[in-house]
Amino acid sequence: MSPGTLEGVKVLELGSLIAGPYASALLAQFGAEVIKIEPPDGGDPLRTWRKLHDGTSLWWYTQSRNKKSVTLDLKREEARDIVRRLAAEADIVIENFRPGTLEKWGLGWEQLSALNPKLVMVRISGYGQSGPYSQKPGFAAIAECMGGLRHVTGFPDRPPVRVGVSLGDTLASLYGTIGALLAMHHVKVNRGTGQFIDVALYEAVFAVMESLVPEYAEFGHVRERSGSSLPGISPSNTYLCGDGHYVVIAGNGDGIFRRLMAAIGRDDLGGDPGLARNDGRAARNAELDEAISAWTMRRGLNEVLDVLDAASVPSGRVYTAADIAEDPHFKARDMIQHNTLPDGQPIDLPGIVPKLSATPGETRWVGPRLGEHTDAVLAALGIDATERERLRAAGVT
């Protein structure tokens, strides 16, 4: 195993499920030592979410690779003392409790930064650490609504729908990771002090909503659901092929549009001066969608893709998990990684993103067993075997 980009960086993870743990997962994939604190009774609930293998979630094995699992009951003062000792040695602490929870336990920013002035603390919550909603419970489903995403997702004649993954959590994780790296750069390169990063789930969603706010501020325009099309940008939509499969075609660049029209035998549209620019095409979007649909419906998906590839028109099938598993490009880019579960069962994991040329991320081990590293981590703190056994018998670990 080659040294990772973050080799030597120590991360203490406090929290559960997705937003906080996914942020630390990204750091673990690039060599950081991540110590995940879990309650002794059952551990992180993610361990039993979705499809299970031998009682443990496959999602858990994906998200928790390269982490060390330490069991501590944070409701006990002795456990909190151990957390303070770990935080005193850490570069980054990541947590996603409801604001005020860690302060109640004496583990908040003020307490931990007093022990370690160079500490970086990522705090992910539904609504942030301040403001009138800060004490409300917040999950990604609610954040996606408040951030504006759900309102624009789906078809105009149907209720708003969710994206098929916990996108609000993942976006918050990415912003938390970026914040941690920025703050650590400030400590290690600028010789600054530590700081905390306040990431709200709804703000992470809101931050990627493109021109939603200026369009409303300038024109009073409220963006609405538009189904599979790209509003105001034409043509770009999902089209049904003659064999029942769907194809996404993005012909919205001026030159791309002309190539697309030539490929489908509609040079009359490709040469129409009124369609030469996007604003003209957007005004006649329904006409263009009808022309493209008429062409795709007479052909199977593979033929459609072959013709459009030859014309250099961006297009693609709507991939299922089965399509991904068999796709040669995923395999060539090492985006399907073969690994082994603790019982020897083979498992495929998603590849690591981004790809660094000199110090790429890697999977060193899949998600750990509950408490697998408790003894080793506590021993490294100078807690001897007799004391570790006492803590275990008392339910602290």
Task: Note the pLDDT of residue 129.
Answer: 97
Q: Domain 10-208+332-393 classified CATH 3.40.50.10540?
A: yes
Chain centroid offset of residue 379 CA: 33
Q: What is the pLDDT of residues 340-359, one digit of tens each?
A: 999 999 999 999 999 999 99
317 close to 301: Cβ distance less than 8 angstroms: yes
In one-letter notation, the amino acid at residue 41 is D
Number of H helices, E strands in the chain: 18, 13
Q: Taking Cα atoms as reference points, which of 149, 204, 146 lies closest to residue 173?
A: 204
Distance CA 115, CA 110 (A): 9
Lookup: tokens for 29 = 């994939």
Q: Is 37 exposed, middle or buried (0-12, 13-18, 19+ CB in 10 A)?
A: buried
Contact 92, 184 (CB under 8 A): yes
Cβ distance 35 to 13 under 8 Å?
yes
Low-confidence ranges of the chain (pLDDT < 70): 1-2
Residue-level pLDDT at 235:
97
Active site residue ranges = 169
190 Cβ neighbours under 8 A, 6+ residues apart = none
| Predicted TM-score of the model (pTM) | 0.94
pLDDT, residue 231, reads 84
**Boundaries of every domain in the chain:** 10-208+332-393, 236-317
Q: What six digits make up the tokens of 293?
A: 């649909």
CB 312 within 8 A of CB 305: no
Q: In the structure encoding, which two tokens stand for residue 98, read together?
A: 């409801």
What pLDDT was estimated at residue 2?
65
Q: Encode 147-170 in three state secondary structure.
A: CCCHHHCCCCCCCCCCCCCCHHHH
pLDDT of residue 268: 97
Token pair, residue 286, equals: 């329904």
Cα 123 to its chain centre, rounded Å, is 16
CB 43 within 8 A of CB 352: no
Separation CA 188–CA 203 (nearest Å): 28
Whole-angstrom distance between the N-terminal and C-terminal Cα of the chain?
A: 31
The reported pLDDT for the residue numbered 230 is 85
Q: What is the fold of 236-317?
A: formyl-coa transferase, domain 3 (3.30.1540)
Task: Identify the H or E element spanning 12.
Answer: strand 10-14
Helix axes 301-310, 254-263, angle to 10 degrees: 130
Helix axes 19-29, 167-188, angle to 10 degrees: 50
The DSSP code for 33 is E
Cα 21 to Cα 67: distance, rounded to the nearest angstrom: 10
Q: Note the pLDDT of residue 3.
A: 76
Is the bond preceding residue 235 a cis peptide, omega within 30 degrees?
Answer: yes
**Residue matched to tokens 């990063």:** 197
Q: What is the largest CA-CA distance in the chain?
A: 85
- Confirm if 185 and 31 have CB atoms less than 8 A apart: no
Contact 63, 45 (CB under 8 A): no
